[in-house]
Structure 1
């Protein structure tokens, strides 16, 4: 059985947010929403689960802090202790105030870089990957809602989408 998708194009972000709510209330399945900029509240309107990237960011920051502490303890206390500015290097905790900027910077460095890598892996955005944008106007000023029409009457669904404010509707058959 061939799958049918309907691409409904909208011209306003408030209109697309209302349309997503109406489509979900009518129990139609929204496959994806393409927008030229982030529309606040659309993830909640689509019923998407909250992201867990903040947990990853915290863990990556803790990893960076751990690397910074171990690195400075080894380099400045164990391997090659130096008397810099009259501050002896007997114990890590005695010199910790001078290490705070390095600990902060490595925490931010690890969190930021590993978050970018995690985001790209999670969303499958690899370098040199071809874009999967169904309509190039969605990168400029239009919004597109992709609705699964395989199990529904296409004419009835099309009329419903026009009533939600769609400016243009296309039927895509795979």
Structure 2
């Protein structure tokens, strides 16, 4: 049951946290998670996380929105119920496309934004009524928490974290913490 133990190191400054992450990674320790009250620039690179692919999904969702806009406007304004608006008859989609550009733009942005947010929440496993996984409420205000798994190296890891500027170090059993 030793693998279920983690060490929580609390930091009070983001610059100290950033240098601590670099030192811990240099010592070949795996950082499970870092909880911060605000985004820390460069932290993902320092932790060695893979780049996000949310921009690719955003582009694909925008393409879906553009396609929906084109198909919708062609059906509504050209095929189903063509109207003579301001003396401009609706003979073909291409003749009227300049008037449809704002709608195409808006639906592209609408689909990209909304589907990207839904994708982010699902990918982050943040669905409605989910219990918060934050191990220390102070990390929502002004503290930073680094979580590292412990594998029979509690003393050396605690000493390393103390040297990096941690103001508080706690060893926690993840199984007990989950209940």
Superposition TM-score, scaled by structure 2 size: 0.95
User: What is the Cα deviation at residue 4 of structure 1?
Assistant: 1.6
Alignment of 1:105-124 (within 5 A): 105-124=106-125
- Aligned partner of 1:98 in structure 2 is 99
- Aligned partner of 1:170 in structure 2 is 170
User: What is the Cα deviation at residue 153 of structure 1?
Assistant: 1.8
User: What is the Cα deviation at residue 17 of structure 1?
Assistant: 0.8
- Aligned partner of 1:53 in structure 2 is 54
Alignment of 1:67-86 (within 5 A): 67-86=68-87
- Aligned partner of 2:38 in structure 1 is 37
- SS state at 2:39 partner: coil
Task: Indicate yes or no: 2:76 matched with 1:87.
Answer: no
The answer for unaligned runs of 5 or more in structure 2 is none
- SS state at 1:130 partner: coil
Alpha-carbon deviations, 1:120-142, whole Å to 9, x = none? 11011011111010000000000
- SS state at 1:146 partner: strand
The answer for unaligned runs of 5 or more in structure 1 is none
- Aligned partner of 2:157 in structure 1 is 157
Provide the C-alpha distance between the structure 2 equivalents of 1:22 and 1:108, rounded to a whole number of angstroms.
Answer: 42
Superposition TM-score, scaled by structure 1 size: 0.97
- The 4+ residue runs of structure 1 with deviation greater than 3 A are none
Matched positions, count: 173
- What RMSD over aligned residues (CA atoms) do the two structures have, in Å? 0.8
- SS state at 1:30 partner: coil
- Aligned partner of 2:139 in structure 1 is 138
